[in-house]
Chain A
């Protein structure tokens, strides 16, 4: 490393990044494969897809006809392999209930889910992070303790209960917000709060802990010794370093966000992917449920890779790992 030129170093860095990225992609593929297998097995355990497709009152003959027609009579591993092969070609199949391509159904609902997830994320980060910074600066005061209690409370409240309470208090008792469904930006407020509130307390505490770790560190003192204003010391020096672990957790929490989306969409009749999937389960609409789960799993894998790359960019020390 000592004798390497800057250009050689840049190449080696690119190599490290490339290896890291390819191993992440490989693990991502394995994750998706396992997810598909598990969900596929669970759905087949839950009921008879042929019966569900033919209708509850259909006679035996019709059900058997559907079974053969749809290939439900083949052994499960064969069905699974066929499904995986089709997905690998980019085809998610056709919904057995709506009789339309799964990809089309997903894309139709996707914008609503994205809007809700971003709303929830905004509540997590937009409230949680400033509160965490603030309480770190007011450490061990009454307001810090109050926020701690509130954080534990909001973190512990289940989404479905919170959703109902928000609807009751802010949409029914006081008609400040629409109860549910989609109409305009105002419709997004309650679902976003419902989805995001549990994360607010969590992120406030996470940011608090990391700030409290970083604030007494020597480089923060050096920044003050240079005569920088408290504002610059706080954000450019302390906050920037305190956010490194927070970003990691955010990436891992993409899964939690999507899980919360399923509950929230159902409570608020939000026309997104989650509510569509919840409706598809009793219909035993295997292609649609599988497609949705696969899509969500892919989102989690991608968000983890993005966070990994982001971390690489945020923490310069990582770029030189394994170079010496």
Chain B
């Protein structure tokens, strides 16, 4: 175990903890709201993968772009969209970050350069290439971080996108969150190469597998990759090995994994693991962490109240959205 003391400001570490717990608690409450019928459609929870989203996005500049797929509540929150705006979007309300037009899978906020959740597997990859292209075109020193799951690597869009990103030396960080299952199909049953990071080596791209359950490892590895990209090093690829503790979506009966497998991964819970490190190394005591949890729970509860009380979007507004004048 790395010694955190002396390497990190306490505030930064507690902020990692707070963010991870925000992502966790938000999803637990969202699941409840789904069961109460407040949230419609599919809802894909991020529970178990918090260290990857929080660690990776913490390593970016505020102005860097993030593109994600449909399991993106965590990325949106970590990038700085408020819990209120995300919850209101799940409720389909006018105050949601996509005005109630997108829902769980299509969160977006231009103010924080969160460039969207996309619900066609692999679809975010060519779009990230375009964002990277625009960054180079304007000669900016920004990075586009593109999140996708292990399912996306078998799509044509992955192949076309990675090839073009490398060909044009674009400032893109591809982050594959390998949670071992594309819906119900295990990686070993879907990819001829089970070590996903090796796929990117075929595009001559620096690539690495990391422990996606450790927020500090994720943060440090992504920081290194992003620094290399900003120095003109072109696209990099990170395979973050992680696990979703919940089914694929709220509609998934989850019959393709064993309880013992889920239990084994739950023992590596990224939040529990990090909180043990904080307390064992004397960085924070249990009371401090409890206080953080309570403040997060208040924030999420306020988000639910905000979403409940927010107005529905108007039909007249809808018609203005299809085309731009």
Are chains A and B native binding partners rather than an unrelated pairing? no
Tell me the A residues contacting B by CB distance below 8 Å: none
